[in-house]
Structure 1
Amino acid sequence: MSDEYASVAERAAREGSEVALAAFRTDIDVETKSGKTDVVTQADRSAQRRVIEVIRETHLEDAIVGEEDDELKTVPESGAAWVIDPIDGTNNFVRDTQVWATSVAAVEDGECLAAANVMPALGDVYVSDDEAVTLNGESVTVSEKTDPETFVVAPTIWWDFDRRDEYANACRAIVERFGDMRRYGCAQAVLSMVASGQLEATVTNVEVNAWDSVAGVHMVRQAGGVVTDVHGDRWVPGCTGLVASNGEAHDAVLAAAREIRPEG
């Protein structure tokens, strides 16, 4: 069954991403939602509608969890659901930066079965079922690096203006422990990169929205990595923080995540 879910997730993500790509680097209106950096465009809404249309061709009754419009905002504990982010990385999208993704995940009783993250401006398509992860059709796995001083680690999600001390702490904790740091502004891209070995880890201490995380978390796990909350417990939607790594030095990555809070 996961193969069927993976096929639907990939097709829905591809078709939604095509809608978004048609508006990329055009003169599109930008609106704000909860704050100055929380932006949305008509491309987000149109892409989400296309994703849902594709899912509904074969899964009429499944719940939909989506960032835009009036869809559910949390993953149901029971039953089938699809978790959608039409444009993860909208701030990149509106700045004409290529790092953004259309993300679709299939969930049953709260557990992800399959997922797709499509990044059309980069030409990358990540797909996972319950056995493996592929990038552009080729199987990928997490990095095999074991020495934290060779790791490249990304702080992810967003610390708002009233939490910039935590943002600074996250950066400091990373650069003091690991070989280098990246920040991409697209959580699904970052998690996909951990799954494919382009990054060794990513950290945040904030609660992460399901549409920013579920697909990528599934990919990291299926590619051989580890994903926990900041306490080291298995990550599930609604947890405090998200710490994903190749599993080779997860304790070191956790230690960095735990230094993010101002009180240490």
Structure 2
Amino acid sequence: MSETSATSRPASPETRRRWRDDLRLAHTITDQVDRLTQARFDARDFTVETKPDLTPVTEADREAERAIRERLSRARGRDSVLGEEMPTTGSTGSTARQWVVDPIDGTKNFVRGVPVWATLIALVEEGQVVVGLVSAPALGRRWWATTDGGAWTGRSLSSARRLQVSRVAELTDASLSYSSLSGWAGTGRLRGMLALIQSCWRSRAYGDFWSYMLLAEGAVDLAAEPELELYDMAALVPIVTEAGGTFTSLEGQAGPFGGSALASNTLLHPAATQYLGTLTD
């Protein structure tokens, strides 16, 4: 099992500089989007629709994605963009570089006035997520990473601290975060999840992006969800792995491409996989 989604050999200095430029662009875009989404969140002046998959969407989701796409089209016009809220697949562009966008991760929180929601922006290049940014303006928090560049949190690139996962080595000492139990039952994996919860020292449903950011900060040691889309996970991967963690699907596929997520401080990954990758209902 591969432990990270990073490339197998170090990137060249030129490539790293390009990724840093991409990260600066992501920060600039997110500054704009944060003002938009925070204003809508504070005003509560939006209507809520239900998508075909029965998840909610608001005008704020669509406005945020439109703003991101417009900025990327000007600054990275040849890159493709995959987003959650645009028509059909939401993919445009023609190059192998693809930006993956979730304009508001945690829409259910957003519509209920819970401040745990964020904009997720990632860049995938040659099948690897090389840039990830998560911005949660209602929490006043932002996290980011580039491959080989470390994972960071702070208000800006110039004012940040480096992230490091925990060193907890036993499940009996571990803190586990998840979103809800209903998804585990729906995918036939509730038995394994409950067994893992019972094996851990502590479990809490922080949910969505926040579980993985707390993991990267070393505040929790495991995070897992049974069913996710690429845009739910892509931005999280480099932040977790550059902080020293591991991000795979429940079956062990590295990165955000397996349709589910198991993230850990690396030390706990084999033990957690034994529960979530093998025990079914």
What TM-score results when the alignment is normalised by the length of structure 1?
0.88
- Match of residue 269 from structure 2: 250
Please give the alpha-carbon distance, in whole angstroms, between the structure 2 residues aligned to 1:10 and 1:192: 17
- Match of residue 140 from structure 1: 163
What is the correspondence of 1:24-35 to structure 2 with a 5 Å cutoff? 24-25=41-42, 26-35=44-53
Give the CA deviation at 1:107: 1.4
What is the correspondence of 1:90-129 to structure 2 with a 5 Å cutoff? 90-129=107-146
Please give the alpha-carbon distance, in whole angstroms, between the structure 1 residues aligned to 2:180 and 2:101: 17
What is the RMSD computed on CA atoms of the aligned residues? 2.5
- Structure 1 portions without partners, runs of 5+: none
C-alpha change, 1:260 and 1:209, in structure 2 (3 Å) is farther
- AA aligned to 1:196 is E
C-alpha change, 1:74 and 1:199, in structure 2 (3 Å) is farther
C-alpha change, 1:75 and 1:196, in structure 2 (3 Å) is farther
What is the correspondence of 1:104-253 to structure 2 with a 5 Å cutoff? 104-130=121-147, 131-136=149-154, 137-156=160-179, 159=182, 163=186, 166=189, 168-169=190-191, 171-186=193-208, 188-206=209-227, 208-237=228-257, 239-253=258-272
C-alpha change, 1:47 and 1:170, in structure 2 (3 Å) is farther
C-alpha change, 1:60 and 1:164, in structure 2 (3 Å) is closer
| SS across alignment from 2:251 | coil
Give the CA deviation at 1:241: 2.6
Mean Cα displacement is larger for which, 122-131 or 239-248?
239-248
**1:159-193 deviation line (CA, Å, top 9, x unaligned):** 55971764x4355123211111122332x222222
Please give the alpha-carbon distance, in whole angstroms, between the structure 1 residues aligned to 2:28 and 2:116: 20
C-alpha change, 1:77 and 1:183, in structure 2 (3 Å) is farther
- AA aligned to 2:246 is V
- Match of residue 10 from structure 2: none
Counterpart contact for 2:229–2:259, Cα < 8 Å: no
Counterpart contact for 2:106–2:118, Cα < 8 Å: yes
Please give the alpha-carbon distance, in whole angstroms, between the structure 1 residues aligned to 2:104 and 2:195: 29
**1:218-263 deviation line (CA, Å, top 9, x unaligned):** 21111111122223342341x153211001121111123136631x
| Percent sequence identity over aligned pairs | 26
Please give the alpha-carbon distance, in whole angstroms, between the structure 2 residues aligned to 1:154 and 1:76: 36
- Structure 2 portions without partners, runs of 5+: 1-17, 155-159
What TM-score results when the alignment is normalised by the length of structure 2?
0.83
Please give the alpha-carbon distance, in whole angstroms, between the structure 1 residues aligned to 2:224 and 2:62: 28
Counterpart contact for 1:11–1:54, Cα < 8 Å: no
- Match of residue 4 from structure 2: none
Q: How many residues align?
A: 257
